[in-house]
Structure 1
Amino acid sequence: MNCETVALGSFCELKSRRGKKQKGEILMAVISMKQLLEAGVHFGHQTRRWNPKMAKYIFTERNGIHVIDLQQTVKYADQAYDFMRDAAANDAVVLFVGTKKQAADAVAEEAVRSGQYFINHRWLGGTLTNWGTIQKRIARLKEIKRMEEDGTFEVLPKKEVALLNKQRARLEKFLGGIEDMPRIPDVMYVVDPHKEQIAVKEAKKLGIPVVAMVDTNTDPDDIDVIIPANDDAIRAVKLITAKLADAIIEGRQGEDAAAVEAEFVASEAQADSIEEIVEVVEGDNA
């Protein structure tokens, strides 16, 4: 476990700051088994593509596909929610990372909704470890925007304006989501750390804790807060990412962002048992 001290405080202290269940109190999961099943969070990769280190998070295998143990997903999603909420309460800067097409929209939307930052196109090597250079490119992006706003474009040759617009578009594509990020992030949330290996390595080098959706083909060792989940389905990515954004909002505002979903009570969540997973996976090979 990574116990490096970061700007938001001790990672280990934050991760262990979970509320104790009081006598007679019913604690409700932030995501129900039913929601996970409906979003297809349980579908892993083909068995031949698995990473053996994910064995303890796998429930079974059906037709050559590993099925993720959703009881563990519920548990680890709760831990991730608590960690993200506590980090946000300590004014953490959170960077959402997901550059594949299934994740790009959700990563951008939920980062913006929670007042945080994102990278949803190609990760540029050195984004964190060479932050000074990245800041210079961001400054250039802001400079080009100012040139358009103050009328400079109107007095420049059309060819030069076209080149500036092309440069701005490229900078916005890769850096627009971190244009206003005040510093290196305190926490990184990653969709598919197998694909985002460079980003994860940079975070680990700098002692930045990583929260991630981890599928059955991924090495979980470098991830501090794991959420075993299908990271290829758009609905699954949206569900998990939105819940973590809710956690950030709750931490920053002191509000329960999940209150609107309080209608599903703990008893209903418990009814969605491991038997339901068996029923679903045996009848659905998607």
Structure 2
Amino acid sequence: MAKVEVKQLLEAGVHFGHLTRKWNPNMAPYIYMERNGIHVINLYKTVAKMDEANEALSKIAASGRKILFVATKKQAKDIVAEKASNVNMPYITERWPGGMLTNFVTIRKAVKKMASIDRMKKDGTFNTLSKKERLQVDRLRAKLEKNLGSISEMTRLPGALFIVDTMREHIAVKEAQKLNIPIFAMVDTNSDPRDVDYLIPSNDDASKSIDIIMTQVTDAVAEGLAERKSEKSEATEGKKEKAPKKKETLDKPEPTPAKVDTKPTPVVDKVPNVTVDVEATKEAVKEDKKADSADSDDLTKIEGVGPKAAEALSNGGLNTFAKVAKADADKMKEILTEASSRMAHLDPTSWPKQAKMAADGKWDELKEWQDSVKGGVE
């Protein structure tokens, strides 16, 4: 992924903020100066924050979670729809349906309704309806396609939200905060950066500015998807290579027994002095810790566990599905609350149940369960 330069952002007008009288004081650290009654954004901080956001988005994409892009303003909707569809990610560009995240089960029912209408048209049931009924069904199908067609492939809650203009999409922000879903956003000088986990200070009104930021973001997502694809191909190749090796060991003749030395072993009179190498011991402990982190599971596959919650659980010793399955919900609640007060509202009651299914490899059963519940809460 080619890193964007400050000059490119300057040419795209990313530095233009809002009028000084409309500013949010919390954006002061990201404002460079004021000129002609307009705030100018510090583009060096924009580049730094963009790199941070892109790294996090790439990791989420590599983990297999979906990233939902939200932009309903006129100058952003076409750009976001194009860029998000290029990386096969869901997006909302018409209207944010209330309860899109907090009442996800009902939204999924509406999407399934769209699929059932398509089946009616294929099997001929649609033709048996009266002209008026066919017209009503067609109108319903068109309405559902307009509002929810872009999220038809999103069968579970997204791993993150990317929002253009948090002031306009304040309902989406509130729903994501309630479910502890990480929020990435283009934040202008009139918005509150405290509502966002990963902000990119930038002009969220100009189409050129939105285009250049979205290009960088979707490139990072594409990089994460490519990394996931390569890991899968390496895993399948590794399995293929291991299979013939087992066959070879079966074909080998049995080794001849070695001659047994009947000579008596000498008795050691004195135990030799053993010196402990402290530095070598420390290195061994470090290696063990590295091995533990390598053996950890992707806990974000549990519904309700975001990247920050997964990190907190791993730091608390619950870094695998098997450990979470045996853990007590109250203990997990304590770990999350100690890590961050923002995670105090999380309900880990169903996490051991989900982790047990994941540990047993029952992914289809886990997916079916996650689709049937509301935000991972039964």
Into which bin does the TM-score normalised by the smaller protein fall? 0.7 to 0.9
- Counterpart selection for 1:70 from 23, 43, 65: 43
Tell me the residue number matched to 1:144.
117
Residue identity in the other structure for 1:143? S
With 148-157 and 69-78 compared, the bigger mean Cα shift is at 148-157
- Counterpart selection for 1:51 from 24, 42, 46: 24
Cα shift at 1:129: 0.1
Aligned partners of 2:208, 2:216: CA distance in 1, in Å?
12
Residue identity in the other structure for 2:134? V
Query: Which structure carries more strand by proportion?
Result: 1
Are residue 172 (structure 1) and residue 141 (structure 2) matched?
no
Tell me the residue number matched to 1:275.
none
Cα shift at 1:29: 7.2
Structure with bigger RCO (C-alpha 8 Å, 6+ apart):
1
Aligned to 1:122, the other structure's residue is in SS state coil
Tell me the residue number matched to 1:80.
53
Aligned partners of 1:29, 1:137: CA distance in 2, in Å?
40
Are residue 249 (structure 1) and residue 222 (structure 2) matched?
yes
- Structure 2, unaligned stretches of length 5 or more? 229-378
Are residue 193 (structure 1) and residue 159 (structure 2) matched?
no
Aligned partners of 1:150, 1:62: CA distance in 2, in Å?
64
Aligned partners of 1:151, 1:37: CA distance in 2, in Å?
57
Aligned partners of 2:10, 2:116: CA distance in 1, in Å?
47
Are residue 33 (structure 1) and residue 6 (structure 2) matched?
yes
- Counterpart selection for 1:126 from 99, 106, 117: 99
In the TM superposition, what are the counterparts of 1:243-282 in structure 2 within 5 Å?
243-254=216-227
Tell me the residue number matched to 1:156.
129
Residue identity in the other structure for 2:62? A
Aligned partners of 1:243, 1:149: CA distance in 2, in Å?
40
Aligned partners of 1:63, 1:103: CA distance in 2, in Å?
26
Cα shift at 1:30: 2.0
Which segments of structure 1 move beyond 4 Å, counting only runs of 4 or more? none
Q: Is the 8 A contact 1:98 1:107 kept in 2?
A: yes
Q: Is the 8 A contact 2:108 2:155 kept in 1?
A: no
Aligned partners of 1:67, 1:29: CA distance in 2, in Å?
25
Cα shift at 1:233: 0.7
How many residues end up aligned between the 2 structures? 228
Q: Is the 8 A contact 2:5 2:47 kept in 1?
A: yes
With 223-232 and 76-85 compared, the bigger mean Cα shift is at 76-85
Residue identity in the other structure for 2:22? R
* Deviations 1:211-238, CA, capped at 9 Å, x for gaps: 1000000011110001000000111111
Q: TM-score, normalised by structure 2?
A: 0.59
- Structure 1, unaligned stretches of length 5 or more? 1-27, 256-286
Aligned to 1:254, the other structure's residue is in SS state helix
Cα shift at 1:117: 0.6
Q: Is the 8 A contact 1:30 1:77 kept in 2?
A: no
Aligned partners of 2:13, 2:130: CA distance in 1, in Å?
53
Are residue 209 (structure 1) and residue 182 (structure 2) matched?
yes
Aligned partners of 2:121, 2:178: CA distance in 1, in Å?
38
Are residue 90 (structure 1) and residue 90 (structure 2) matched?
no
Cα shift at 1:152: 2.8
Residue identity in the other structure for 2:202? A
Tell me the residue number matched to 2:88.
115
In the TM superposition, what are the counterparts of 1:218-229 in structure 2 within 5 Å?
218-229=191-202
Larger Cα-atom Rg: 2
Aligned partners of 1:236, 1:153: CA distance in 2, in Å?
46
Q: What is the percent sequence identity of the aligned residues?
A: 52
Aligned partners of 1:29, 1:154: CA distance in 2, in Å?
53
